[in-house]
Amino acid sequence: MHARRSATHLLLATCLTAARLVSAGGDLALDMEGLLLPRQSSSSPSLFNLQAFTGALGGFSASAISQSPDPERPFEVDGDTFTDYQSAVNRACDNQKNECARAANANRDAVDFAVSDCDRQNNECKDAGNGAAFTRFPTSSDAEFDFFCDE
């Protein structure tokens, strides 16, 4: 009974917060955890980065995988768009590998890593993408404030 009452209070608080935001002229979307938050405008950059890999050999991190404005090619990496998540992961990881390898080749005496280390990191990056928990962007409908979650 206590858990049901807590869940009801949480739902009520969320609805009241959402109602205040909407009455103030805001718009809503669902985030990755299912919580309500203001939706970004269509002209602002994506708030979500689906890049799962955090390694940065030589200080070169994998590019962000953000949402493009094109619904047919929703994944964007360094200005290039892709139709599917895995292609975006591959590009982001390959871009990271290329930067790492350039640095390893150009500064062989100054860096403590080799191109083979960059290759290993590239495989780790792609493995992280294959096992990523989030591979899609949250979606919602704004028609009359109806929201649909794609599970």
Interacting residues of 14 by C-beta distance below 8 A, sequence separation 6+: 35, 36
- Using alpha carbons, list the distances in angstroms from residue 18 to 15, 35, 60, 109, 127: 5, 10, 40, 57, 38
Instruction: Report which of residues 73 and 9 the model is more confident about.
Output: 73
Q: What is the model's pLDDT at position 108?
A: 84
Read off the pTM. 0.63
Q: What is the 3-state secondary structure (H, E, C) of 61-104?
A: CCCCCEECCCCCCCEEECCEEECCHHHHHHHHHHHHHHHHHHHH
pLDDT tens digits for range 15-53: 555 555 444 444 444 444 454 444 544 434 446 899 999
Half-sphere exposure of 9 (CA within 13 A, CB side): 6
pLDDT tens digits for range 94-118: 999 999 999 999 988 889 999 999 9
